Chains A and B, each alone.
Chain A
Amino acid sequence: MSEPLIVMRNVSKRYGTPAGSFLALADVSLTVERGGFVAVVGQSGSGKSTLLSLLAGIDRPSQGEIWLGGTAVHLLPERALSAWRGRAVGIVFQFFQLLPTLTALENVMLPMDFCAAWPSRERRPRALALLERLGVADQADKLPATLSGGQQQRVAVARALANAPAVLLADEPTGNLDSRTAAGMLELLAVLARDGQTVVMVTHERDALRFAGRAITLVDGRVAANEALLSNVHGDAVHV
C-alpha cells in the first residue's frame, strides 16, 4: 500500500481571543489516502474550518505535525508557504472569492501566473480546458459579478485545479448555493475524486456525505468519528 497523501499527527490549534484562549482543535491525528474524497463534518464551531486552514498552510498548528505529499507543512517558513500552496493545494472557498476585476478565464490563469507551473503560452488553453471540463467555458470572458452562484463556484473549482494540485480543499463549497446547484457541485467533486483527484471537503450538511468516500466527524475540536462510506453519487451513504 502506498504512503497516505495527508498525515496529521497530534495536531492542536489554540487561538487567543479577547475573552481568553480558545482551543479550536485538540490532538487530532488522521490520514487521507491519495484519490480519496473525504468529508469533514461537524457542528458550527467544531473545528472543521480550522482543520482545513491548517492543511492549506493558511494557519499554523500550535502543536503537532502536518505532512502533505511528503512535505512537512508545519515546518515550512512563511515565505515558502505561498509557493508550496500554489502548487500542492487547490482551495475552493464558500464565498467563491473570485477576483472581481478579472474575467473567469483570467481568474483561472492567475495561479498559473503566480506559480509559473506552466509555460505562459500553455496557460490560456489549459484554463479554457478546465472551464470546459467544469461546464462554464461559455462564461470565460465574463466578470464574476455577472455569473450565477453555481457558475462562480465552478470557476472557483477550475481555478483551484489550475496548477494540478495534489489535493483540492473545499471549505463549505455548497454553503452559498441553492440545493439543486449544491448537488451538482458535490457531484462534480465526486467525479473529480473518481478521476484520481484527492478532495477534502468541509461541510455541515449531512447530505453531502453520500458523495464522499470517508467522513471525519469533529466535535469540540476532537475527532469523534472517522469512518469509510460506501457511497455513490446516486445513493445514500453507507457507514462501514
Chain B
Amino acid sequence: MSSLPPRWRKVGRDLWLHKSRTLLVVAAIVVGIVGSGAVLDSWWLLRGVTREQYRASNPANATLRVDGIDGALLARVRRLPMVRQVQARRTVAASAAVEGAWRAAILFVYDDPRRIAIGGVNREDGAWPPPDGAVVVEASSREYARVGLGSTLTLQVGGGPPAALPVAGVARDVGLAPGWMENVVYAFVSRATLARLGVEPSLDELQLTVRGDAFDRDAVRRTAFAVKAEVEAAGHRVRDVDVPVPGRHVHAAQINSLLMTQGAFGVLALLSSGLLVVNLITAMLAGQVREIGVMKAIGARGGQLAAMYLVLAAALGLAACAIGLPAAAWIGRRYAELNAELLNFDLGSASLAPAIILPQLAAGALLPVLAAAVPILRGCRIAVGEALRDFGIAPPATQASRRPRSNGRLARPLLLALRNAFRRRQRTVLTLLTLAVGGAVYVGALNLRAAVRGSVDLLFGGQRFDVVVRLARPYPPLELETAARAVDGVARAEAWAGARAVVQHGDGTLGNAFALTAPPAGSPLFAPRLERGRWARAGAAELVVGRRLVDDEPGLRVGDAVPLLVAGRPSRWRVVGLVDSGPSPQAYTTREALAPLVGAGVATLLVDARLDGAAAQVDLLQRLRGELEARGLEVQSGQLMAQQRKVIEDHLLMVVAFLGIMGQLTILVGGLGLASTMSLAVLERTREIGVLRAIGARHGAILALVQVEGLVVALGGWLAALPLSLVTSVLLGEAFGRVMFRVPVRLLPDAAGVLRWLALVVVVSLLACAWPAWRATRIPTAAALAYE
C-alpha cells in the first residue's frame, strides 16, 4: 500500500471509510448479477442438457404403427437402403393403482431393451433392463404414480389380472412429455411381464432413423411411406405414420419460450440494478464534488480523476462478482433443475463452463463502470470554481414556480417534504424508475398468476364432468350410460367416442396422428370456449380443431374442407370451429358423426357427480368401477378431474411463483435505491436540518420530514409501475402462453393487486427511510450548522 500513489490510496480509503455506501453499491450489483446470472446459468445448463440429451437419445425420424411386428419384418426393413436403423416397440394402455384409484398408464416394451438404438432410455436408479416380473418407472411419472425404488406398483391391462409389481428401477425417456403433465404413469416392462398382465407380447411400433438428410421432413416422410409400402407388401397392416419435426424436441417451443422469459427477467434485474448503481455512483460523486474541485485545483486532470472513479466502480463490480457469481450459479442450477423437471430432462452433473462464467465476470465488473461513466465524466468535467463552491443543493430560482405550492390546506412540514422530494430531479426520477420496474414485474407476475388460474378455469370450465373412466374395449353407449346412472351420486353420464386421426396432405403423405374426441351432439358436459366459428352439428362431418393441432397443421382453417384418415379410413371433413384445448393436438366432432367410421361402440365414460369433495368422488369412482365390472364392462382406468387440475395448476404456479420472486427481488433493488437516495439527501441537507432544529423542529418532525419525502418518491414509483405493468403483463402472458398454453393476457391488475403493491411500496419506503431518518435526528444542531 505504501508504494501505491496517493490517488489510488484515496480510492481504497474512500471505499473503506464509506463502508455503508460501498456495501449498498455492492449489494445492488450483487442483486443484478444474481438476477441475470442465475437466469443465464440456468439457460446455459438447460440448453446444453436438452440439446445433448435429446441428440444423445437419437430420436426416431419416423414411427409406424404396425400390426404384429416379427423378426422377419424387422430384418426386411433393416435391409432397405434408405433406412439407417430400425427397432420395434410396443406401447400398451393400462391402469395403475395409485392411492386407491386407478390412473391411466402406458407401458413400453422393447424388442431388445439392452440395446435401444433409437429414442434412448437412460437408467437413473436401480435396474435396467426391466427384470421379468418387475417394472421400471419413467422418472417424470414417479411423483404422479407415488412410487419409488423398492415400492410396489399395481398394474392392470384391460380386463386382465391386476399384478402388484416391484419397482426395480427408474429410467428417463427425454422424448416423452412429462408424465405428471400428461396425467399418465409411464413404465417399462419386459415381454414376460406383459404376458403376466394377460397381454399377448407382440410389438406394434416400428421406429426408424433414415439415411440422407434426416432434417428434411418431406424427405423423411417420403422414406417413411416407402417403408410403409414395404411393410404392407410383407402382409402387415400399417395403422398410421408419425413424422415429427426433425431435430426438434417435442418441447422445443416451450424450452425456447421459457428461456426467453427468463432472459427478459435477467435483463430487467440487470436494468434495475444498473439504475440503482447509476444513482449510487451519482450520489457518491455528489459527496466528492468539493474534493474533485480541490484535486483539480492542485493539478489533477479530468482524465486522471475519471480513471480514479472508474477504477473505483470496477473494484465495486469485482467485489460484487465475488459474492454474486457463486450465488447466481447456485440459484441458476436450482432453477434449471426445476425447469428440467418440467420438460422431462435430468440436469445430472451438468456444470457451468468458463464460457458462461467469464462474460458474467466481465459484465459484473463493467456494469458499474458503464452505469457510472456518465455521472463520472460529468462530475469530472465540473469547473473547479463550481466544485469548490459546492454546498449541497440549490436549484435555480426559476424553478420555484414549478414547485408544489401551499394552498393553505397542506401543513408546512408536509409541503417542505414534497418540495424536497423534487429538488434533485434526476436522482428522484432514477429512484422512482427503479422502484417502478420492480413494481411492474411484481404486478405483471400477479396478473400472470390470475391469468394462469383463469386459463386453467377456462380449460377445465368447458369440461363439466368430474370423473373419466376408460374402458378396455368399445361398448354400446347406452349400456355404459345406463350402468353409470345406476350408481348413487351420479348426476349425469355420457359415453364418448374417440379415434386417432391423421390429415392426408395433397402430396399423398400423412400428418401426425391426433386425438379426435366425439361427445354426443348437444352434450351438456362439454362446452369449450369457441375462439372462432361454431360447434359441429349432429351427424355432420364437421370438425372443431384445437389450437395446438393448428400449430402442427397450419392448413386447418375454419371453413376449409380437409381429408382425414380416421382409424385408418379415408373421409372428408369441414373445419367449422377453433378452440383452445390445452397442450395436446386435438380435434372434436359429434359421436353421431364418428360412428360410421369407428362403429357404434365407445370406450370413454364421463360422469358429472352430485358429490363434492375428493374423498366422496374417490368413493364414487370405486363404486362406478365396481358397477361397470359387475355388468361385464372391462375398465381400463378411472380418473378424477380435480386431481388432474391440481397437478397441472401446481406445476404452472411454480413457474409463476418464480416470476413473483424475481419481482420482489427487483423491488428490493428499488428499496436499496430509495435508502441510498434518502441517506444522501440527509447528508446534503445537514445544514438545513440544523436550521430546522435551531428554530424548534422536534425529532418527530425531522423523522416525518425524511419519511414523507421517501414516501412521495415511493408513491411516484407505485404510480409509474401501473402503466409499466401493462408491458410486463403482455410479455409474460405471451411467453407463458408459448411455454405452457395460451392464457388470455390480463392487462389491468385487479384492485386487490394494486392495493397489495401499494402496501408493499409503503412498507419498503418506511423501511428504506428508517435509517436515514434516524440519522437525521442524531445530528447535533451545532455540528449541523457548522457543516461545510
Instruction: List the interface of chain A (C-beta within 8 A of B).
Output: 18, 53, 56-59, 78-79, 82-83, 85-87, 90-91, 93, 95, 97, 99, 101-102, 106-107, 109-111, 113-115, 120, 159-160, 162-163
B650 to chain A, nearest CB (A): 55
Cα separation A70 to B278 with both chains bound (whole Å): 43
Question: Are B299 and A85 within 8 A (Cβ)?
Answer: yes
Given A110-B6, A114-B300, output 5 extra A-B contacts at Cβ < 8 Å. Answer: A82-B300, A83-B299, A83-B301, A86-B298, A110-B295
A-B contact pairs, 6 of them (CB 8 A): A57-B384, A85-B297, A85-B299, A93-B388, A97-B294, A110-B6
Q: Decide yes or no whether B10 CB sits under 8 A from chain A.
A: yes
**Bound CA–CA A56/B388 (angstroms):** 13
* A78 cross-chain contacts in B, Cβ below 8 A: 383
- B401 interface contact, C-beta 8 A: no
- In the A-B complex, the 6 residue pairs with the closest CB atoms: A86-B299, A18-B397, A101-B13, A106-B6, A111-B298, A115-B299
Q: Closest CB of chain B to A44's CB: distance in Å?
A: 15
Residues from chain A with a CB closer than 8 A to the CB of B5 are 109, 113, 120
Q: Which residues of A contact B299 (CB under 8 A)?
A: 82-83, 85-87, 111, 114-115, 163
On whether A58 and B297 interact (CB within 8 A), knowing A82-B302, A110-B6, A113-B5, the answer reads: yes
- How far does the Cβ of A109 sit from chain B's closest Cβ, in whole Å? 5
- Rounded to whole Å, the gap between the CB of A154 and the closest CB of chain B is 16
Residues of chain B within 8 A of A111, CB atoms compared: 298-299
Minimal beta-carbon separation of A162 from chain B (angstroms): 8
CB pair A113–B7 under 8 Å, yes or no, is yes
A99 to B12, CA, bound (A): 13
Given A58-B385, A85-B297, A110-B295, are A101 and B398 neighbors across the interface (CB < 8 Å)?
A: no
In the complex, what's the smallest C-beta–C-beta distance from A168 to chain B, in angstroms? 12
Residue-wise, chain B 300-338 has the 8 Å CB interface mask toward A (1 for contact) of: 111010000000000000000000000000000000000
Instruction: Give CA–CA (A145, B302) in the complex, Å.
Output: 27
* Cβ of B296 under 8 Å from chain A: yes
Q: Which residues of A contact B89 (CB under 8 A)?
A: none
State whether the Cβ of B750 lies closer than 8 Å to any Cβ in chain A: no
Q: How far is the CB of A28 from chain B (nearest CB, A)?
A: 17
Whether B239 sits at the interface, judged by CB under 8 Å, is no
| B396 near A99: Cβ-Cβ < 8 Å | no
The verdict on B470 contacting chain A, using a C-beta distance below 8 Å, is: no
Measured between alpha carbons, how far is A58 from B290 in the docked complex, in Å? 13
A106 touches B9 (CB 8 A): yes
A215–B454 Cα distance when bound, in Å, is 87
A79 B301 Cβ-Cβ under 8 A: yes
Asked whether A102 lies within 8 Å of B300 as measured between CB atoms, the reply is no
Tell me if A's interface is mostly helix, strand, loop or mixed.
helix
Smallest beta-carbon distance B400→chain A, Å: 9
A113 to B8, CA, bound (A): 10
> Bound state CA distance, A205 and B300, in angstroms?
31
Interfacial chain B residues near A93, Cβ < 8 Å: 294, 297, 388
Q: Please give, as numbers and ranges, the residues of chain B lying within 8 Å of A97 by CB-CB distance.
A: 290, 294, 297, 388
Q: Give B420 Cβ to nearest chain A Cβ, in Å.
A: 20
Q: How far is the CB of B460 from chain A (nearest CB, A)?
A: 66
Residues in B neighbouring A113, C-beta threshold 8 A: 5-7
Contacts of B619 in A (CB 8 A): none
* Chain A CB within 10 Å, residue with most, of B297, B299, B397: B299
Separation of A99 and B290 alpha carbons in the complex (Å): 10
Whether A102 and B6, one on each chain, are in contact in the complex, defined by CB atoms closer than 8 angstroms, is yes
Give the Cβ gap from B315 to chain A, nearest Cβ, in Å: 15
Name the distance in Å between A21's Cβ and chain B's nearest Cβ.
Answer: 14
B216 close to chain A: CB less than 8 A? no
Distance of A82 Cα from B384 Cα, bound (Å): 9
Within the complex, what minimum Cβ distance (angstroms) separates A62 from chain B? 13
Docked CA distance A159–B300 (Å): 13
Chain A residue contacts of B788, Cβ below 8 A: 95
How far is the CB of A205 from the nearest CB of chain B, in Å? Answer: 21
**A118 vs B649: C-alpha distance in the bound complex, in angstroms?**
73
- Chain A nearest CB, measured from B39 CB (Å): 38
Q: Could you tell me the distance between the alpha carbons of A162 and B5 in the complex, rounded to whole angstroms?
A: 15
State the Cβ distance, B20 to closest chain A Cβ, in Å.
15
Chain A residues whose C-beta falls within 8 Å of the C-beta of B296 in the assembled complex: 82, 85
Give the shortest distance, in Å, between B399 (CB) and chain A (any CB): 10
Q: Are B297 and A56 in contact (CB under 8 A)?
A: yes
B17 CB–A CB distance under 8 Å: yes
B14 at the interface (CB under 8 A from A): yes
Tell me, in angstroms, the Cα distance from A160 to B383 when the chains sit together. 20
Bound state CA distance, A101 and B788, in angstroms? 16
B291 contacts A by Cβ under 8 Å? yes
Q: Given A109-B6, A114-B7, A101 and B17 touching (CB < 8 A)?
A: yes
User: Which of B17, B291, B295 is within 8 Å of A114, CB to CB?
Assistant: B295
| Chain B window 370-388, contacts with chain A (Cβ cutoff 8 Å), 1 for yes, 0 for no | 0000000000000111001
How many Å from the CB of A126 to the closest CB on chain B? 13
In the complex, the answer to whether B385 meets A114 with C-beta atoms within 8 Å is no
CB B380 to nearest CB in A, in angstroms, measures 10
With contacts A59-B385, A114-B7 known, is A99 near B397, CB below 8 A? no
Give A110 to B304 CA distance when docked, in angstroms.
12
Residues of B within 8 A of A160 (CB): 298
State how many angstroms separate the Cβ of A59 from the closest Cβ of chain B. 5
Enumerate chain B residues within 8 angstroms of A53, measured Cβ to Cβ: 385
Q: State A98–B79 Cα separation when bound (angstroms).
A: 91
Report the nearest A residue to B13, measured CB to CB.
A101
Are the C-beta atoms of B10 and A102 separated by less than 8 Å?
yes
Nearest residue, chain A, Cβ from B291: A99
